[in-house]
Each structure stands twice: as C-alpha cells, then as structure tokens.
Structure 1
Amino acid sequence: MAVVDGQSGAKSRARNCAIALFAVANVLAMALAQNYKEAEVKAAFLYHFTGYVEWPDSAFESNSSPFVIGVLGKSEVHSSLQSVVRGKDWHGRAFVVKRVDTAKEMRECHVLFVAGAEAKRLPQILEILDDAPVLTVGESEGFAQKGGMINFFIEQNRVRFEINPDAAKRAHLTISSKLLNLARVVRQ
C-alpha cells in the first residue's frame, strides 16, 4: 500500500507542478500580450501626434524628404509603429521609421521616441538635439519635466500623455491646442 501511496503522491506532485507551470506560463503570456497592446497604443499615439504638431519648413531638406520617426533603444513600439504608418504619408511625405543611436541620426528625425531604458541618457539627448525641430517623446517618469516634449504614462490601466509646451516651443514646434487639451500639461 505504501508503494501505491508513493506513486499517487508522486503523480499528485507532478500534476500540481504541471498546473503551477501552466499558470505561470499563462501569467507571462498575459503580461507579454499587455505589453504588446501598450506598444500598439503608443505607436498609434505617435502617428496621430504628427497631425497636431507643426514643423518649420527648415526641418526638411527638400519637398520630397521623408518624415522620419526614430526609435532610440529597444522597444516593441518600433515594429508596431512600422505597421501603423505602412501605406500612410504626412502631407505627401513618406513615413520612415528607423532605429537610431547616433547624434546625427537623432537630429535627422522629426519625431524621436526614447524608450524607457534610455531615459538615463535624456540630458545628453536633449543636449544633442539642442533646439533642433525634433518632437521628443518618452515613456519614463519625469521625461517631460526634464525637457522632453511628450511623455506617456499609465493611469487607471490606460496609456495617457503629458506635454511640455515650453520644450516644444524651444524647438520651434507648434503643438495644436486640440492636442494640448487632451494632455496633462507640465512645465520644467
């Protein structure tokens, strides 16, 4: 009888272990799905922001220059953004979404999305951009208060954004009052 109980106990432990692993896998899958959805929402916001911001003519080399959205750092927003802008244009200009890292690449952007892991580089990034007409968008606490222009944050499980209009003005960008009315406005 003890052998049967031993086998039964081993089967029970194996079954409980399998159930626990299944539960952990489900939680991880749900977490990854949530992150992906968040990336899609941020990508959609980035695309729509372009309709509510005015860039000076000097931001473009020529009338046929593309509208460049750069992604600094590893982020699922990059691939989501590529999907969002596919087949679309900005005032007749093709969208180009690319990963960037160098100062030159950052200055060639019209929108620069700074992934959360790159937030520690914000002072250097802002110094590189100086007053270049590049809309800086981040996803880290204090990004807009430290000189970034738009920052994503989560509130009540929803992606929200805050805008630092003074930072945009320094870069010669005009943010529509319609967009400002949807945002939490912050100052440095």
Structure 2
Amino acid sequence: MQKGPSRHYETTGLKSPCCALGVLSGIVKSYLGKRFFAPQSRRYLTRNLVLAGFCLLLFGRQALPAESLSEAQIKAAYLYNFAKFVEWPADVLPPGAEILLCVVGNNVLDGELQALDGRKAGEHTLRFVQRGYADPNLNNCHLLFLGGSEQQRFVVTLKALRDAPVLTLSDIEDFAEKGGGISLLFRDNKVVFEVNLEPIRNARLHLPGQLLNIAATVYGR
C-alpha cells in the first residue's frame, strides 16, 4: 500500500474474494449501516441478514435482497466506496480537502447520491453539487456521475474533460465501453460494475487492485 491523499492498493495486490471483501467492507459498515439501518427501524431488526446478503452480492453469489436495499441505494454505496479508495494526485486532492461529487442529469439514482453530501470518505468530506452538462467547471470535480438523461451526449462530455483528474461514473449501459471510467449496472438481478482503465490512467487516478478483481469487466487491462 502506498501513502497518499487517499488509499491506493497496487493492481498486483491480493486477488482472493476474501481480500476484496475486506477492502469493500466499508460499504456495509459506514454507508449502509448508518443510512439504512437506524435504531427502531424495521430494517434495523434484520440488519445482519441484509448485510450478509449484500456481501455475497458483491461476488455475484446472491440476487439483490427483494425487501432490503434498492438498486439505487447499492449503486450509491458502490460510488461512496470508490470515493474512499480511489487515489487522486496530491495537487488535485490535498490532505483534508473536500471531494467534490458532481452530478449531471435529472433524478439521478433517486436522490441517493445527494444523500452522500457531508459524508466522510477517509480523511475527506464528500460534497454534492448538481451541474449542467455544458458547465465549464466539470473538470474541477473529483467524481462526476452522469445520469441516464445523458445517454445521447455523454461521449461529448467525456471528450470535453480530456485528461482532467476526474473519475467519471454512470449507470448508462455502454458508458465504460465508450470511454467512461466506471459503469454501475443492474444485470441478472444484481448490481455489477465495469471499469475502463484507459481514462482512469489518463486522469492520473489509481483504483485498488481488489476492486478491479471483482469488476464484471475491465477494459484496457
């Protein structure tokens, strides 16, 4: 592990599912636990079963629990952990600086990304900002999520960013394949993600090897 403004695991790191689960355990401990399992709630009573199911879901072994977490909630949880484990260059994200989560599109993930505003991601704090697709300041974002409404113009947005140090994400089906950083997709009744390493490298970003090992598809490996 290298030290830096955010945690970074070499892509040659441990490859077993147990190690990958260790990296992503923050999903259930920090995001899901606080947001969806408040004391006195019905979900709180079945927390252990839901969390166990979600851990299995990460490796494609179990379908999405029907009465626990929505597709949007799980996608938001994935994004939250990408924010925690991605490494940005030191000149882009100094120690203690806020991580700017920009969103382009309407009704993106049912408002679950907006709920991330103010959440801690390691030593950083996430800040949610709604932006327009033509906003000239998109290259100042750290994370940029493009909603489904951007299907017809996301390629133009990606080209406008060029090699800006921005991790681009979307739940558009062919987003990663066409040059986006990470696609969050719902397939076979479970959430999976695809990664395109070329734009991530060009943006001078690093993803943990354990995340890559559980991605459904990795382009440019």
Name the TM-score class by shorter chain.
0.7 to 0.9
Q: Does 1:114 align with 2:150?
A: no
Letter in 1 for 2:194: E
Contact 2:71/2:186, CA 8 A, preserved across alignment: no
Letter in 2 for 1:186: V
Structure 1 residue corresponding to 2:101, chosen from 69, 76, 92: 69
Q: Match of 1:165? A: 197
Structure 2 residue corresponding to 1:59, chosen from 69, 72, 92: 92
Q: Match of 1:45? A: 78
Contact 1:148/1:167, CA 8 A, preserved across alignment: yes
C-alpha spacing 1:123/1:76, structure 2 compared with 1 (3 Å): closer
Contact 1:107/1:132, CA 8 A, preserved across alignment: yes
Letter in 2 for 1:114: L
Q: Distance in 1 between matches of 2:88 and 2:70?
A: 29
Tell me the matched-pair count.
153
What does 1:18-37 align with in structure 2 at a 5 Å threshold? 37=70
What displacement does 1:64 show? 5.1
Which stretches of structure 1, 4 residues or more, deviate above 4 A after TM superposition?
Answer: none
Q: Does 1:133 align with 2:165?
A: yes
What SS does the aligned partner of 1:175 have? Answer: coil
Q: Distance in 2 between matches of 1:170 and 1:76?
A: 26
Q: Match of 1:13? A: none
TM-score by length of 1: 0.72
Could you tell me the percent identity over the aligned residues? 34
Q: Match of 1:94? A: 125
What displacement does 1:87 show? 4.9
Q: Does 1:148 align with 2:180?
A: yes
For each residue in 1:25-84, what CA deviation from the matched residue of structure 2 results, as whole angstroms up to 9, or x when unmatched? xxxxxxxx99x9222111111101112211111223x6554211111101342621232x
Gaps of 5+ in 1: 1-32
Q: Match of 1:177? A: 209
Higher alpha-carbon deviation: 137-146 or 70-79: 70-79
What SS does the aligned partner of 1:40 have? Answer: helix
- CA RMSD of superposed structures (Å): 2.3
C-alpha spacing 1:86/1:122, structure 2 compared with 1 (3 Å): closer
Letter in 2 for 1:123: V
Q: Distance in 1 between matches of 2:214 and 2:103?
A: 24
What displacement does 1:107 show? 1.2
Quick one: higher RCO (CA 8 Å, sep 6+), 1 or 2? 2
For each residue in 1:102-152, what CA deviation from the matched residue of structure 2 results, as whole angstroms up to 9, or x when unmatched? 433311211111101202112211122110111000111211111001001
Q: Distance in 2 between matches of 1:148 and 1:97?
A: 20
Letter in 2 for 1:142: D
